[in-house]
Structure 1
Amino acid sequence: MTSSLVKSNSTVNSISGVAQSLDDVWTDFLKLHISPNTKRTYAAALDDFFTQLTGAIANPDQIQEFLNLSQHQAVGVVLKYKGLLLDAGLAPATINTRLSAIKSLTNHARKLGQCRFSLEDIPHVRVEKYRDTSGVDAAAYRGMLACVDRASFKGKRDYAILRLLWDNALRRGELVATNIQDFRDGQLWIVGKGKTQLQSIDLAARTVYALQDWLAVRAGTADEPIFIALDGRSYGQRLSGRSVARLVAGIGKAAGITKHLSPHRVRHSAITTFLDASGGDVRTAQRLSRHSRLDTLMIYDDNRKGLQGKASGVLADLV
């Protein structure tokens, strides 16, 4: 039978090693110690991989066929997919996430004796991080908050979301994953990026009030999401990250902000604004942002100070 992934007259040899069914490989892969959000992202990435190359989403037959490829066949297939993503003009971070999903699956399959090849020699796309970390200032964000009708049901939800994104520099994935029981005693328990366990973050009094005001009208049990969709088609379901992005962009536009706003840009804005207000206290900013590496915060601080512009000014004045 001719492979739908690689056109070849040769028959791929059967895999030796641990006798595991494909269902075991896929099930075990989804049990890896990665966050629920990462699992969803990886599953979507693998669906895209197989859809673009075979016309069908990931299924046991397609995955088995892929895992049975030889080293040069597998590398060729993944490089072809990488080329398709580059041609589509996707962001480097998006391409790298999809490549990471494929590599993660094959690495896990190799441990179970279900895959003979390695994709470690396929490089990720170079990412230039945080080219613009300025975002919007506090006055502009205050204008966004003022646009929300806090007397309405939707307004109470949106106001609480905006406060969390700014006051705690939350990522949208961290925000939408929270349940009602995760908010207690002035704290919110979240699963941070790349983490698997809950961690607590302290909330400011205004943030606590905003959440309490929303939850007072949002009927739900402890294990249900804090933030739900309010449109007719998906009413009551967990609010998606995409919906949060649309919410932020819409309120930003209503507030007269010309720069396109996203939850991540709000996060950048909050971190940069704190650095301004604290005189560059990167240690405390690290606790706010929950970045594991301090040098990431230095990018924000350098951009805030405009060091490159200052250096260019000095050089220009010397000639």
Structure 2
Amino acid sequence: MNDSLKLASTLPSLASLVERDILQELLADKKSPNTRRTYAKSLRDFFQTITGDQTREPTIDLVQEFLSLDRFSAISLVLKYKGMLVNKGLSPATINVRLCAIASLVNYARKIGKCDFSLEDVEGLKVQNYRDTTGIEPESFKTMISLPDTNTLKGKRDYAILRLLWDNALRRNEIRLANVKDFDPDGGKLWIQGKGNSQKEAIDLSPQAIAAIQAWIAARGKVNNSQPLFCTLDRATNGHRMSGNAIYKIVRNTAAAAGIKKIVSPHRIRHSAITAALDATGGDTRKVQKLSRHADLNTLTRYDDNRLRHQKEVTTILADLI
């Protein structure tokens, strides 16, 4: 057998090259595990909705059938799907994420020559971000953070998590994804996977947060640097990485135990910390941006407007004019 025949025998068949799993290729191209999960869920919902079969998985044939549509048929189908999402009462942000996933699939297919149309004419819904930036007062959070029993392993863990949520206004996923090696007590830093970032960034910790994390790690015992910084403690899953829902429950239950009537989530604590930081710095949005890590300074301006209640002030002025 000559070299060309040997090479041919090791290559996949032409048919297998044609039958590419474009959806899986798209997901594999996404660096963030969270993005992969979100896109997979969105695309599954799209194909299940348009086929009317909620048990059907998006097979290679089904994906290729969609990508082989003509431009007008494809746009019409996606617009119909968009309308169905609106009728379900889903939030604009959720609808836009699902439309973005479909557009990414189409754009990827176009790049590799498996699709002839784009979805540029399918517009997302206008989203008003952070309309409600109200949180809880520092005194209320002070009561919350006093409740974990730091004589217990769970109490040490929960106290450290609450410290990070307030002192650094972290998102629960940023806490969830941190590993033991990301904590640098000597440098007073924690490396986190920020929202929308493919690489980790270092944030400075308060002395209280450093001490809290050190106490938790010491009580936890010997761990590998690659293990999650915060783990589950129940008998069935002990040592596993905590879920976002587990962190949410810690916050929700602690707030309820503190007698706080408002539903408190990790993100509401983030709102509270950012608002308190604006109060403490006299509304210095550029300085607080280093804490919140918002890419758009206008987002912090909305926090500041809500904090100062400018709309109420102007409403009162107008009412007094008549």
Q: Deviation at 1:72? A: 2.2
Could you tell me which runs of 5 or more consecutive residues in structure 2 were left unpaired when the two chains were aligned: 1-16
C-alpha distance in 2 between matches for 1:232 and 1:66: 46
Q: 8 Å contact 1:37–1:173 — kept in the other structure?
A: no
Could you tell me which runs of 5 or more consecutive residues in structure 1 were left unpaired when the two chains were aligned: 1-18
Query: In 2 relative to 1, CA 53–36 (structure 1 residues): closer, same or farther, beyond 3 Å?
Result: same
Greater shift, 148-157 or 299-308, is seen at 148-157
Residue 208 of structure 1 is matched in structure 2 by 210
Letter in 1 for 2:288: A
Q: Deviation at 1:53? A: 3.1
Does residue 68 in structure 1 map to residue 80 in structure 2? Answer: no
Residue 318 of structure 2 is matched in structure 1 by 315
Match of 2:196 among 162, 177, 194: 194
3-state SS of paired residue (1:113) = coil
Give me the CA root mean square deviation.
1.9
Please give the per-residue CA displacement for 1:162-189, whole angstroms capped at 9, x wherever unaligned.
Answer: 1111111111222211111111131111
Does residue 43 in structure 1 map to residue 40 in structure 2? Answer: yes
Residue 163 of structure 1 is matched in structure 2 by 163
Q: Deviation at 1:236? A: 2.6
Residue 90 of structure 2 is matched in structure 1 by 90
Residue 151 of structure 1 is matched in structure 2 by 151
Residue 256 of structure 2 is matched in structure 1 by 253
Does residue 276 in structure 1 map to residue 275 in structure 2? Answer: no
C-alpha distance in 2 between matches for 1:35 and 1:175: 15
Q: Deviation at 1:232? A: 4.3
Greater shift, 49-58 or 293-302, is seen at 49-58
Residue 239 of structure 1 is matched in structure 2 by 242
Greater shift, 166-175 or 200-209, is seen at 166-175
Structure 1 residues 271-310: aligned runs within 5 Å: 271-310=274-313
Query: In 2 relative to 1, CA 247–91 (structure 1 residues): closer, same or farther, beyond 3 Å?
Result: farther
Residue 80 of structure 2 is matched in structure 1 by 80
3-state SS of paired residue (2:192) = strand
Q: Deviation at 1:198? A: 1.1
Residue 130 of structure 2 is matched in structure 1 by 130
* Higher-Rg member (1/2): 2
Ranges of 4+ aligned residues in structure 1 off by more than 6 Å: none
C-alpha distance in 2 between matches for 1:49 and 1:250: 35
Greater shift, 216-225 or 302-311, is seen at 216-225
Match of 2:49 among 48, 52, 69: 52
Q: Deviation at 1:101? A: 1.4
Q: Deviation at 1:265? A: 1.2
C-alpha distance in 2 between matches for 1:247 and 1:86: 33
C-alpha distance in 2 between matches for 1:200 and 1:44: 31
Q: 8 Å contact 2:190–2:203 — kept in the other structure?
A: yes
Letter in 1 for 2:290: R
Greater shift, 281-290 or 170-179, is seen at 170-179
Q: Deviation at 1:121? A: 1.4
C-alpha distance in 1 between matches for 2:306 and 2:37: 33
C-alpha distance in 1 between matches for 2:190 and 2:41: 28
C-alpha distance in 1 between matches for 2:84 and 2:155: 42
C-alpha distance in 1 between matches for 2:191 and 2:71: 44
3-state SS of paired residue (1:201) = strand
Greater shift, 228-237 or 261-270, is seen at 228-237
How many residue pairs get aligned? The number is: 300
Q: 8 Å contact 2:160–2:212 — kept in the other structure?
A: yes
Residue 139 of structure 1 is matched in structure 2 by 139
Instruction: Report sequence identity in percent.
Output: 50
Greater shift, 306-315 or 91-100, is seen at 91-100
C-alpha distance in 2 between matches for 1:168 and 1:241: 17
C-alpha distance in 2 between matches for 1:81 and 1:215: 48
